[in-house]
Amino acid sequence: MRILIIEDEPQLARHVNVALHRHGHEATVHHDGASGLKAALTTPPDLIVLDVNLPTIDGFEVLARLRAAKCSVRVLMLTSRGEVGDRVRGLKAGADDYIPKPFAMEELVARIEALGRRSGAPVQAAALQVADLHMNVQQRRVLRSGEPISLSPREFDLLQVLMEEPGRYFARTELYDRVWQREHSYDSRTVEMFITRLRKKIDSEHPQPLIHNVRNVGYTIRADEAARDKP
Ligand code: CA
């Protein structure tokens, strides 16, 4: 992948750069927000590793300007540990993932590669899987731990959107647009109600919940929320 690193701490930027090259990626480094943004808009990379606190313009502003320019490149933000606000702000601003500093380099590389896999063409896979939840898209069948789950057509569509991009947070409005395709005027309670029903059918009888939400950010499906959200 072609990866743009926007990080002002020279030593950290160098370590990330070296680690990514070692894993076969092509990485370039910019040490301030303005030059990083310019590079991203001139030659869009496959992925951006974006620090929050940067000289000239900060990471949130870089992200906002990228999204305003309709640049949909995947962005992983480097946030300060303990600052939950940074994480929520980053996700709301359109970051695809975040990793709190300090982090283990292997974890950063793993997150980057996972994001890269998600950034391919829209998934049209016949089979989707998150933990022990399986979906056969063609047959419109869903199994959890091998047990069939009966879903209404709308519940199935909603679950499919979530399962196509595990770990990505979807705002209610986006889910509404994707599943209901603006048949009715937007009503946030519709999405909530369907999520509640899905949770009941998918998660209620299992110790590991898969559907998660972050207040004011949205909904996601993934297997590892508990592990990731521990301080
Ligand atoms: Ca910094």
Which CATH number is 7's domain given?
Answer: 3.40.50.2300
Say which range, 5-19, 28-42, 101-115, has the weakest mean pLDDT.
101-115
One domain, residues 91 and 17: yes
Q: Give CA–CA dist 73/209, Å, rounded.
A: 30
Q: For residue 5, how far is its CA from the centre of ligand 1 (angstroms)?
A: 12
Q: For residue 78, how far is its CA from the centre of ligand 1 (angstroms)?
A: 9
Domain that includes residue 46, residue range: 2-117
pLDDT tens digits along 114-135 = 887 776 533 345 688 999 999 9
And the tokens for 91? 């996700």
- C-alpha dist (Å) from residue 199 to 106, 119, 192, 195: 33, 27, 10, 6
pLDDT tens digits along 51-97 = 999 999 999 999 999 988 888 889 999 987 667 788 888 888 888 88
Q: What is the pLDDT of residue 221?
A: 95
One domain, residues 142 and 164: yes
Confidence band (pLDDT; 50, 70, 90) for 186?
low
One domain, residues 31 and 80: yes
Q: For residue 65, how far is its CA from the centre of ligand 1 (angstroms)?
A: 18
And the tokens for 76? 């992983």
Q: For residue 204, how far is its CA from the centre of ligand 1 (angstroms)?
A: 42
Indicate the average pLDDT of the chain.
86
Could you check whether the bond before residue 102 is cis, i.e. omega within 30 degrees of 0? yes
Q: What is the pLDDT of residue 38?
A: 96
Last residue of a domain, one of 88, 117, 146: 117
One domain, residues 44 and 104: yes
Which element (helix H / strand E) includes 110?
helix 105-118
Q: State which amino acid sits at residue 85.
A: G
One domain, residues 143 and 195: yes
